[in-house]
Structure 1
Amino acid sequence: MKLNIQNETSRLRAVILGTAKSNGATPTLQEAYDPKSIEHIKAGTYPTVKDMIHEIESVAAVLKKYDVAVYRPEIIEDYNQIFARDIGLVIEDKFIKANILPDREKEIDAIKHVIAKIDADHVYKAASEDIHFEGGDIMVHNDYIFIGTYLGDDYSDCIVARTNMEGVAYIASLFPHKKVKAFDLNKSMTDPRDNALHLDCCFQPVGHDKAIIHKEGFRNPEEYEFLVDLFGFDNLFHIDKKEMYHMNSNIFSIAEDVVISERNFNRLNDWLRKNKITVEEVPYAEIAKQEGLLRCSTLPLIRD
């Protein structure tokens, strides 16, 4: 398999899509990794496996409609394997295994059959356990690589901080010809409305020259202004705190003119259509209760 990812929006040809087919029982509060899951566990509204299977298979159907080659993880019994984006990423022709939470190492093993199709010289894994990064924090945008991180003094105690500056440096070392830009994100272990779990929870390019953004997701206003200057204010769709909570920035592009979006994102979906982007609406509100959505569930391998 010859990998090729240059940006977030070129025509998609091959992707790994997560699975919910054996997601297991509702986690305990101690097992939860993020404040939104904790909120729904406490409320008794954590999503059922049946509903999550229905939602993720609706995405698979859309991908197949557009003739995208869809790879799936091997099933691990009673284990959450929905968020394929966390466990790896492709930039250019390199597959990079993420350095993720130790409890989730099994998820990488479940896609070994896909990684085996890639030339071993193009598969990378950071050697040091001090290097942290997950795919949701990393976006390639042509000449740029955008990386979400967290510079708070409490990083080591903050379970929702998934990418550190060592991780930023590691990615930069693999792509010395790229412009690597890090963004210090707001984190909260108690309130999902104030928690940008990954960069794609508060920002994502879409179309040819546009992006979705949540200004309050950035700790440093200058980093938000960098994106305003790069894209142009009129090309940014600003989402508010409620829309960020519902994961409006976490849609998924099949092409510059086709996206998969949650069916309840009315304001966003209208804006996309006004910008001549076809919106394939799917139900995904249940999976969103785990603080992840469509981009989180997909790991693109090949784009034109």
Structure 2
Amino acid sequence: MLKLNVKNETSTLRSVVLGAANSNGPIPKVEDCYDPKSIEHILAGTYPSEEDMINELDAVVAVFNKYDVKVYRPQVIKGCNQIFARDIAFVIDDILIEANILPDREEEVHAIDYIWNQVAEDKRIILPEECHVEGGDVMPWNDYIFIGTYSGEDYSELITARTNIDAVIAIQELFPNKIVKSFELRKSNTNAKENALHLDCCFQPLGKGKAIIHKNGFLIEKEYQWLVDFFGKDNVFEITKDEMYEMNSNIFSISEDVVISEKSFTRLNNWLRQEGFTVEEVPYSQISKQGGLLRCTTMPLIRD
């Protein structure tokens, strides 16, 4: 049996699910896309190739191997985009929660059934149908669980709104001893620079008490301010709209002082090194074209 353990975003990683691009299917039609950034690249003729994305994921596998992290991959479903492993499930403490994601993506969830079946039955949760949630919006942070959400009346019209208040309430009920803190995110179906698809697209806690944040990703200024105050202004790296668009907040911690980051994030990577982090740089600019980066493609199972 798998004994899961994820208390936060930065403790030493022991095992993780990493997405796969091995049979990613044809370039999608615009009307079948889930986010504005993919649409942009389809229209521009710059949508990433399967081969490029496989190479990028392989670069991450090499980093995980270097740090003795056990890597699980989803079973390959022919013609299915399975890159974003974070969307389909997530672990809080020792509990694996299956995400209720867009109905079109149901089969992606079954690609990790072999992992699900290794977890004790009382440690597996499927939330009620009305609870919409994806792992990119959920961040365990010790005594807290940070959750990105959207509660506007136009929720059902926004394919970019992935986590609703019902899910926030359900997670609070599952973890009564934790403080669940939700944040209203800015959503746009059409403008990638005005859209925080998930919480990890505009915010991420790091080791050493640091964090990355983008103010405009938050709809309510005082919720953004709460995070800045929580981590302390001097510990927070503020990213610009363009850096958010390039997914600078979506890096991934292997431990308190080791992160994986995209090699082109020069300003961020320099800051991280100044703050004492080891930065493992990988090429991930092709995967980024689909509106996700390193945190989106990884789903931690065990952190020490």
> What TM-score range do you get, normalising by the shorter chain?
over 0.9
The equivalences for 1:127-276 within 5 A come to: 127=128, 129-276=129-276
CA distance in 2, matches of 1:118, 1:279: 32
1:253 Cα offset (Å): 0.3
CA distance in 2, matches of 1:235, 1:151: 29
Task: Count residues in correspondence.
Answer: 303
Query: Deviations along 1:34-63, whole A, 9 cap, x unmatched?
Result: 000000000000000010000011111111
Q: Equivalent residue for 1:105?
A: 106
Q: Distance in 1 between matches of 2:18 and 2:173?
A: 28
**Cα distance in structure 1, aligned partners of 2:12 and 2:82:** 25
Q: Which moved more, 1:150-159 or 1:250-259?
A: 150-159
Asked whether the 8 Å contact 1:9–1:208 carries over to 2, the reply is: no
User: Structure 2: where are the runs of 5+ without partners?
Assistant: none
- Residue number in structure 2 paired with 1:12: 13
Q: Distance in 2 between matches of 1:264 and 1:49?
A: 21
Q: CA deviation at 1:116?
A: 1.4
Aligned runs of 1:6-85 on 2, under 5 Å?
A: 6-85=7-86
Q: Give the 4+ runs in structure 1 shifted more than 6 A.
A: none
Q: Deviations over 1:172-204 (max 9, x none)?
A: 111000000000000011110000000000000
**RMSD of aligned C-alpha atoms?**
0.6
Q: Report percent identity of matched pairs.
A: 62
TM-score by length of 1: 0.99
- Whether the 8 Å contact between 1:85 and 1:296 is mirrored in structure 2 is yes
SS of alignment partner, residue 146 of structure 1: strand
Q: Which residue of 2 aligns with 1:279?
A: 279
- Whether the 8 Å CA contact 1:19–1:82 is kept in 2: the answer is yes
In the alignment, structure 1 segments of 5+ residues that lack a partner are: none
**CA distance in structure 1 between the partners assigned to 2:58 and 2:106 by the alignment:** 24
Kindly state the Cα deviation for residue 208 of structure 1 after the two structures are TM-superposed. 2.2
SS in 2 for 1:264: coil
Q: CA offsets, 1:100-128, max 9 Å, x none? A: 0001111110001111111111000013x
Using the alignment, how far apart are the partners of 2:70 and 2:44 within structure 1? 38
Amino acid of the structure 2 residue aligned with 1:210: K
Partner of 2:300: 300
Q: Distance in 1 between matches of 2:253 and 2:121?
A: 28
1: CA distance, partners of 2:303 / 2:65:
15
- Tell me by how many angstroms 1:97 deviates: 0.2
CA distance in 1, matches of 2:116, 2:151: 32
Post-superposition offset of 1:285: 0.3
CA distance in 2, matches of 1:32, 1:221: 30
